[in-house]
Amino acid sequence: MLIQKHKNLLDKLSDIDELNVEMHQLSKAVTQTLEEIKTIQKEINILIEEKSKAFPWLADRVAEYFQFRDFRLGDYFEQKFKPALSTAERVKELAKEKRIIKKEFLIARNFVKYYESVNSGDVDP
């Protein structure tokens, strides 16, 4: 009986070691993926800033992207183990408001940057 319990414990320890190795590998993969995402995000932000000066509709697309991302957060609150329905609804309402504000902000910011770049040499003292 004692030998059987000892054998069971050794089997469980072996399983734990295997899971620990898998978890370490997954952790490395997640870290690498996060770094790739950060790099892509920086590149996208640079591209958006450059292109939205000439294409105001791009600001709307960017705002839609952020709204979609916020909606996914709202969906999470609806579908989690203990759903938070009122929180999910509020997140989605705020996402709609945020989309409008984000779009207007991007257009205004890029208009100001464009105006400053065009008029940077025309300043008389």
Q: What is the pLDDT of residues 17-49, one digit of tens each?
A: 888 888 888 888 888 888 988 888 888 777 777
Task: For the beta carbon of residue 66, count every other beta carbon within 10 angstroms.
Answer: 14
Q: What is the pLDDT of residues 85-117, one digit of tens each?
A: 888 888 889 888 988 888 888 888 878 877 887
Determine how many CB atoms are found less than 10 A away from the CB of residue 111: 14
Report the predicted TM-score, pTM, of the whole model to 2 decimal places: 0.47
